[in-house]
Structure 1
Amino acid sequence: MRIALVSEHANPLAAVGGVDTGGQNVHVAGLSAALAALGHEVTVYTRRAAGEEPPVVRMAPGVTVEHVPAGPPEPLPKDELLPYMPAFAAHLARRWRAVRPDVAHAHFWMSGLATLAAAEELRIPVVQTFHALGTVKQRWQGTADTSPPGRVAVERDIGRRAAAVIATCTDEVKELAAMDVPVERITVVPCGVDLDLFHPGPLDVPVLHHAGGDGRTGADGVARILSIGRLVPRKGVETIIEALAHVPGAHLTIAGGDPADEEFARLSRLAAASGLAERVRLVGSVARADVPALIRSARLVVTVPWYEPFGMVPVEAMACGVPVVASAVGGHLDTVSGCGVLTPPRRPRALARVLRDLLARPDLRASLAAAGLLRARSRYGWQKVAARTESVYRTMTGDHVDRLVAAGG
């Protein structure tokens, strides 16, 4: 099958950890490689964000990344890309007239807008994954939401026009149904995790943590807690710092972001003002290859965003055999429930109680770690995620009918 993945702002080749580079980049990279491993030919279309980017890059066997000229060849916040989507769509249409894909899978709402426009004339079936919904962002961020006006209405239209919608969690299905997206066209397929990279390997402690001991517990008996991800307010890192004030002796490593960013500076100031400067360390972005070792070096991984469309960090921690504390929102309700601890978002005192309890109970931590590892391996490996995604594609292209006929069904 010839598959087009459209990801207008999230380049699978980009380094993860910036304000607009995170789970979607990882998802598109992992999904494209896993689909290619199933024998498909995959092209990822993403916006050219630098003048030196070559038009086409071979990312992996069977996977090509094409940098689409749409807007200035420089980094732009994703919420400023809407005016360039007509040019993006025109490029897709030109390319697809020359080589028509069997299916186009759009990632994020602006990708959906461009993909539907380019696919209509050629009658290419379009599958949509939103990764985040404007209704949810608006609900939690209010006036701080920088989405273009009309985003929610456009998402509703995309959801109704797409041949199929892939939601990454069951909570998203409820949100889509409330937007009048036909439920019968929605399939839940989660994001995946690279089980070859994320696993409970040796305790190879990175130097990013405070010195001393084995990393999980320092020479002085200090427990290590890890927060990792993009540094934006809605990720809830502030809540973890505030909770730490009520968890005596524990140290927190915060990985992600850039020291030049305002959020990095704000969190540093908060730690200092809370008297936690000696127990909180912000280390900035970490190379993807170094993330598993950093996760394994922690006693607990904590991720408590206000909202989370899926949340890859908990699944990566689970795959490394490290227990997880997460906010009871979005995708966490699927991934963490029953094999980690869920806590209300933006409730530092409640989080502190959970952290104190877990740090005092090694038996419970071990039980949660084992349950999380089992779940990550049984549900979230990329091979399984790609196979479920492929199944959705085949229902759109008619391949399932051809196979039934060939089998005499």
Structure 2
Amino acid sequence: MRVAYLSVDPGVPVFGTKGASVHVQEVVRELRGRGHEVSVYTTRAGSRVPADLEDLRVVEVPLGPHPGTAAREAAQARAARELAARAEADHPDLVYERYSLFSRALSQVTATTGAASVLEVNSPLVDEQRTHRGLCDAEGALEVLHAQVGAAGLTLCVSGPVEAWVRGHCPTGRVRTLPNGVNTVRITPRPEDPDQVVVTFVGTLKPWHGVEDLLRAAALAREPWSLRVVGDGPQGPALRSQAREDGLEVDFRGAVAPEQVPDHLAGSAVAVAPYPEPTTGQGHYFSPLKVYEYMAAGLPVVASAVGQLPGALEGCGLLVPPSDPQALADALDALASDPRRRRELGRRARQEAVDHHSWSRVVTRALELAGVDSA
């Protein structure tokens, strides 16, 4: 089967380090592993190409100069049209698009080729853009969403809140929820560091990941555990400054390629996802890639009780109120002082990841729901 994978969002490089890039790579990897011929059409290829994807065909149409918000939106729409035309010329059997603002690519390709189609929606993107980055043509963006969902044979949402958002704007589409997954072959349990209890966070250093609360928790800790932070982002300098001011010795490792994450989880005793209280009415709508990676690594997880996390971590970790550094410190202290409990929670976490959250299961289910051959 010929598959056209479309990702028009310039904020998501195909070969990048953020969670969205991991998502793109893993879906492509699973499709290729089943013998399908996959081509990726994108506005931003990125440069961190994993060895097993070096031969992947990538068609790139960069946005080019776009001074100002309105110009960026117009450039994204133009790039989507060009990428769709390139995909049409390849006559795909399946069109799989990661939903992007102002892209009608899926609807354009399916209209001319009759290919089966899946639209993957990872967030309430119109609301996100309006709140965090700026949006000129909100009405046009919603019209595009309606057209894309209407054209798609199947719209997959990563969480219930995202599905509710899509249905609120597009009540007639065929919409389902399918959470994210994890590569349980690439990420496997490793031994703890024998000399120290290491608590690890992996993720982009942005406000919605709550790393400042994690640093406050480390300053409040009564047990001797050490903190490792894997990732970088806009908050990096401020967080490093906060750690210095609080007298904390934090192992900041910077951004790493997705294939390097297992090595940076190695030696960890506990993993942490300290999401803060939401500051907008959107709530926590994500499907947490990092948490599934922690689970695949056989690590007990301490996380905020938000979004999908209470269900995902049942029997696999400890939940704390969001934006509560003292509660976070207490939970981390409890696991730091109890190696037997860590081992049991980690064992359950690994089993849950393998049984229910592998990318293989996710892609199989997506293709089944789309009514196409998953072999």
Q: TM-score range by the shorter chain?
A: 0.7 to 0.9
Q: Could you tell me which residue of structure 2 aligns to residue 98 of structure 1?
A: 89
Distance of 1:97 and 1:269 partners within structure 2: 51
Distance of 1:262 and 1:339 partners within structure 2: 31
Q: Could you tell me which residue of structure 2 aligns to residue 338 of structure 1?
A: 315
Moved over 6 A (4+): 76-80
Q: Could you tell me which residue of structure 2 aligns to residue 19 of structure 1?
A: none
Distance of 1:53 and 1:199 partners within structure 2: 22
Whether 1:24 and 2:25 are equivalent positions in the alignment is no
Q: Could you tell me which residue of structure 2 aligns to residue 189 of structure 1?
A: 178
Partner of 1:109, secondary structure, is: coil
Q: 1:146 aligns with which of 97, 110, 133?
A: 133
Q: Flag the 1:103–1:289 CA change in 2: closer, same or farther, 3 A.
A: closer
Distance of 1:117 and 1:298 partners within structure 2: 47
Superposed CA offset, 1:264-312 (max 9, x none): 1110121223x2333x232211243332132131111101234351111
Q: Flag the 1:375–1:171 CA change in 2: closer, same or farther, 3 A.
A: farther
Q: Could you tell me which residue of structure 2 aligns to residue 304 of structure 1?
A: 274
How do residues 129-144 of structure 1 correspond to structure 2 at under 5 angstroms?
Answer: 129-134=120-125, 137=128
Superposed CA offset, 1:147-188 (max 9, x none): 424187357524455332112233433443444544x72223
Q: Normalising by structure 1, report the TM-score.
A: 0.77
Partner of 1:110, secondary structure, is: coil
Q: Normalising by structure 2, report the TM-score.
A: 0.83
Distance of 1:356 and 1:253 partners within structure 2: 15
Q: Could you tell me which residue of structure 2 aligns to residue 406 of structure 1?
A: none
Q: 1:347 aligns with which of 313, 316, 324?
A: 324
Distance of 2:27 and 2:360 partners within structure 1: 9
Q: 2:260 aligns with which of 276, 290, 306?
A: 290
Superposed CA offset, 1:210-251 (max 9, x none): xxxx63642xxxx21111111111111111111112212322
Superposed CA offset, 1:359-400 (max 9, x none): 2332322221111100111122222222112213326xxx79
- Shift in Å at residue 11 of structure 1? 3.0
Q: Flag the 1:81–1:365 CA change in 2: closer, same or farther, 3 A.
A: farther
- Contact 2:154/2:174 (<8 A) preserved: yes
Whether 1:33 and 2:12 are equivalent positions in the alignment is no
Distance of 1:46 and 1:34 partners within structure 2: 18
Q: Which amino acid aligns with 2:166?
A: L
Percent of residue pairs bearing the same amino acid type: 26
Distance of 2:155 and 2:328 partners within structure 1: 34
Q: Flag the 1:78–1:320 CA change in 2: closer, same or farther, 3 A.
A: farther
- Contact 1:108/1:131 (<8 A) preserved: yes
Q: Flag the 1:84–1:333 CA change in 2: closer, same or farther, 3 A.
A: farther
How do residues 1-400 of structure 1 correspond to structure 2 at under 5 angstroms?
Answer: 1-8=1-8, 9=10, 10-14=12-16, 16=17, 22-48=18-44, 59=53, 63-72=56-65, 81-110=72-101, 112-134=103-125, 137=128, 145-149=132-136, 150=138, 153-154=142-143, 157=146, 158-182=148-172, 185-201=174-190, 203=191, 215=193, 217-218=195-196, 223-248=197-222, 249-257=224-232, 262-273=234-245, 275-278=246-249, 280-306=250-276, 307=284, 309-394=286-371
Q: Flag the 1:155–1:379 CA change in 2: closer, same or farther, 3 A.
A: farther
Q: Which amino acid aligns with 1:281?
A: D
Distance of 1:147 and 1:237 partners within structure 2: 25
- Contact 1:79/1:146 (<8 A) preserved: no
| Structure 2 unaligned spans of 5+ | 277-283
Q: Which amino acid aligns with 2:6?
A: V
Partner of 1:372, secondary structure, is: helix
Q: Flag the 1:341–1:104 CA change in 2: closer, same or farther, 3 A.
A: same
